[in-house]
Chains A and B, each alone.
Chain A
Amino acid sequence: GAGVSQSPRYKVAKRGQDVALRCDPISGHVSLFWYQQALGQGPEFLTYFQNEAQLDKSGLPSDRFFAERPEGSVSTLKIQRTQQEDSAVYLCASSLSRRLTRNQPQHFGDGTRLSIL
């Protein structure tokens, strides 16, 4: 596709359930980012991949959050034992360059809106 695709667009889960959110980046984009966006706030960094390598996961809020990108393309963000505070929009972004200093713009998907009941 032409842009970053995320699925599902909406996800409702009961507290304690596990969820998996998918991101299809733009073909050929090396860098992939996950962000969490609360209502009225800017995107908050979660984790960063360069190809299949997870180079930074410092933004993951707890060990219940896990991300992978096994073949360097599609990425999955998994949240185990969900809590109400996990309710947010999860955004995925990709960029062409492997070097973040090259200041390539990020291309975002439209996010997955996660609601934990």
Chain B
Amino acid sequence: SQKIEQNSEALNIQEGKTATLTCNYTNYSPAYLQWYRQDPGRGPVFLLLIRENEKEKRKERLKVTFDTTLKQSLFHITASQPADSATYLCALPGGSYIPTFGRGTSLIVHP
């Protein structure tokens, strides 16, 4: 069956370090992958989309990689700040291209 795996354990890092979050998937052949940020009590907010023919995508302090051979995407936040603390969700197009979400990984950046 199709599965999207994100680390359920929270990632704790110090301010200024680079945070790296992982999204692994099985039984998908996605044309693209999306990353969203979700704050407590709020809906997810779109951050980045990377297509299958793109190895890497950058936006300000964010960088996403997409390895279709490993079936993995890595999400990096450089020079992390306490304001980056949130849950980060990856999403893939599932049946009928309807976005399917992972459970998300909580990032906590300590000052």
The residue of chain A having its C-beta at the shortest distance from the C-beta of B94 within the complex is A45
Q: Please determine whether B43 and A105 come into contact, CB atoms closer than 8 angstroms.
A: no
Mask, A100-114, CB within 8 Å of B = 1, is 110101111111000
- Residues of chain A within 8 A (CB-CB) of B100 are 45
Interface size class of B (residues with CB under 8 A): 20 to 34
- B101 on interface, CB distance cutoff 8 Å: yes
The residue of chain B having its C-beta at the shortest distance from the C-beta of A93 within the complex is B43
- Residues of chain B within 8 A (CB-CB) of A1 are none
Taking the nearest CB of chain A, how far is it from the CB of B70, in angstroms? 21
The residue of chain A having its C-beta at the shortest distance from the C-beta of B44 within the complex is A108
Q: Please determine whether B98 and A100 come into contact, CB atoms closer than 8 angstroms.
A: yes
**Assuming the A-B contacts A48-B98, A91-B43, A100-B97, are A105 and B49 also in contact, with contact meaning beta carbons closer than 8 angstroms in the complex?**
yes
Q: Please determine whether A100 and B96 come into contact, CB atoms closer than 8 angstroms.
A: yes
Taking the nearest CB of chain A, how far is it from the CB of B57, in angstroms? 13
Number of A residues, CB within 8 Å of B: 25
What is the interface of chain A, defined by CB distance below 8 A to chain B? 4, 33, 35, 40-45, 48, 55-56, 58, 91, 93, 100-101, 103, 105-111
Selected A-B contacts with CB under 8 Å, 25 pairs? A33-B98, A40-B8, A42-B6, A42-B101, A42-B104, A43-B44, A43-B89, A44-B101, A45-B99, A55-B96, A56-B96, A100-B96, A101-B31, A103-B31, A103-B49, A103-B93, A103-B97, A105-B34, A106-B99, A108-B45, A109-B43, A110-B41, A110-B43, A111-B42, A111-B43
